[in-house]
Amino acid sequence: MSDNGHPLFEVQNLKVAIDGNEILRGVDLTINEGEIHAIMGRNGSGKSTMAYVVMGHPHYEVLDGSVKYKGHDVLGLDTDERARLGMFLAFQYPMAIPGVTVAKFLHSALKTREESGEVAVREFRTNLNKAMSLLGVDSSFASRYVNDGFSGGEKKRLEILQMFMLEPDFCILDETDSGLDIDALKTVAEGVNAMRSEQRSMLLITHYQRVLNYVKPDVVHVMMDGKIVRTGDIELAENLEENGYEWIEEELFQNTEATGVGTAQA
């Protein structure tokens, strides 16, 4: 764990509700420049909520806490402003936009990042073709409608393709590994690894350790019931793979018994 880097992304005491139900109950998380963190946890532990809230999904209500990215108070920004500052979310369930081609979509997204509002078509095409061949997708991909009739694997590849093209500084990958066969998983992992750099940080959300065989995280967190309850290195993930989540629950329970406090922050 590299504590001495520059923090790129900081979450403090984040509490979030949807329809009156508190889903995140005080999350703290700091990711330094160049680090890859993984958040593991069961379904319903709050992992995806975390991803949505960080990106500004309108259905969630932030009750307390702060999210900082490059010193900006993220929670005060619109979703598109966050994106233009270099934040990116690879969706677990990407939306279809019928009638809009992948190429047009990406070109439009890139244009929002330019002051002139323009991106030269030829240069864009060259970059897009390069990115597509790196990800092993057919060139016809560019003229298909965004996620319209895509298979699960194609949707995930398109998310990674977008990440490639938009070159964000902070990427959240929400269960990008789920539903992929081993070949697709490898391709996606290769894409993620190719994006690794000293300036770029990533947050991998997953409930399987499998993807971490291909993308090595610097830090692994465990989320349970809306809180981060354990933080460690890759060994923590391996331990989870072998022993499941029960042992953490037991430890937490004992801790609660011992201290009378319902928290067990590592």
Partner 1 sequence: MAPETEVKNPALDINDEYKYGFSDPEKPVFKAEKGINHDVVEQISQMKSEPEWMREFRHDALDVFESKPMPNWGNTGLLNDIDFDNIYYYLKPVEKQGSTWDEVPEDIKNTFDRLGIPEAERKFLAGVSAQYESEVVYHSMQEELEKQGVIFLDMDSGLREYEDIVKEYWATIIPPADNKFAALNSAVWSGGSFVYIPKGVEVDIPLQAYFRINAENMGQFERTLIIADEGSRVHYIEGCTAPTYAADSLHSAVVEIVALPGSHMRYTTIQNWSKNVYNLVTKRAVAHENATVEWVDGNLGSKLTMKFPCVYLVGEKAHGEILSIALSGEGQHQDAGAKIYHAAPNTTSRITSKSISKGGGRASYRGMVKVYPDAIGSKVHVECDALLMDKESRSDTYPTMEIAEEQVQVEHEARVSKVGDEQLFYLMSRGLTEEEALVMVVNGFIEPFVKELPMEYAVELNRLIQLEMEGSVG
Taking alpha carbons only, the member of 29, 47, 28, 32 closest to residue 1 is 32
Taking alpha carbons only, the member of 186, 110, 93 closest to residue 147 is 93
Q: Kindly tell me which residue out of 9, 69, 91, 150 binds partner 1, with binding defined by CB under 8 A.
A: 91
Q: Determine, following the binding rule CB under 8 A, whether residue 15 of this chain makes contact with partner 1.
A: no
Q: Determine, following the binding rule CB under 8 A, whether residue 92 of this chain makes contact with partner 1.
A: no
Contacting range for partner 1; rule: CB under 8 A; set: 4-12, 27-35, 101-109, 182-190: 101-109
Alpha-carbon distance 184 to 171, whole Å? 19
Minimum gap (Å) between residue 183 Cβ and partner 1: 26
Minimum gap (Å) between residue 262 Cβ and partner 1: 33
Alpha-carbon distance 27 to 46, whole Å? 10
In terms of CB distance, is 88 or 150 closer to partner 1?
Answer: 88
Alpha-carbon distance 103 to 8, whole Å? 30
Q: Determine, following the binding rule CB under 8 A, whether residue 135 of this chain makes contact with partner 1.
A: no
Which burial class, exposed, middle or buried, applies to 63 when counting CB atoms under 10 A from its CB (0-12, 13-18, 19+)? middle
b/e string for 24-43 if b means 16 or more Cβ within 10 A?
bbbbebbbbbbbbbbbbbee
Q: Give the SS3 label for residue 77.
A: coil
In what order do the strands lie in the sheet containing 21-32?
Answer: 21-32, 7-18, 61-69, 72-73
Q: Determine, following the binding rule CB under 8 A, whether residue 109 of this chain makes contact with partner 1.
A: yes
> Looking only at residues 164 through 193 of this chain, which bind partner 1 when binding is defined by CB under 8 A?
166
In terms of CB distance, is 26 or 56 closer to partner 1?
Answer: 56
b/e string for 127-165 if b means 16 or more Cβ within 10 A?
bbeebbeebebeeebbebbbbeebeebbbbbbbbbbbbb
Q: Determine, following the binding rule CB under 8 A, whether residue 83 of this chain makes contact with partner 1.
A: yes
Minimum gap (Å) between residue 81 Cβ and partner 1: 9
Q: Determine, following the binding rule CB under 8 A, whether residue 234 of this chain makes contact with partner 1.
A: no
In the stretch 147-166, what mask flags binding to partner 1 with x, by CB under 8 A?
---------------x---x
Q: Kindly tell me which residue out of 68, 70, 113, 144 binds partner 1, with binding defined by CB under 8 A.
A: 113
β-partners of residue 30 are 10
Minimum gap (Å) between residue 232 Cβ and partner 1: 30
> Looking only at residues 23 through 82 of this chain, which bind partner 1 when binding is defined by CB under 8 A?
55-59, 78-80, 82
Question: How many residues at the interface with partner 1, by CB under 8 A?
Answer: 30
The 8-class DSSP code of residue 94 comes to: P
Catalog residues that contact partner 1 under the rule CB under 8 A. 55-59, 78-80, 82-84, 88-89, 91, 94-95, 97-100, 105, 107-109, 112-113, 121, 145, 162, 166
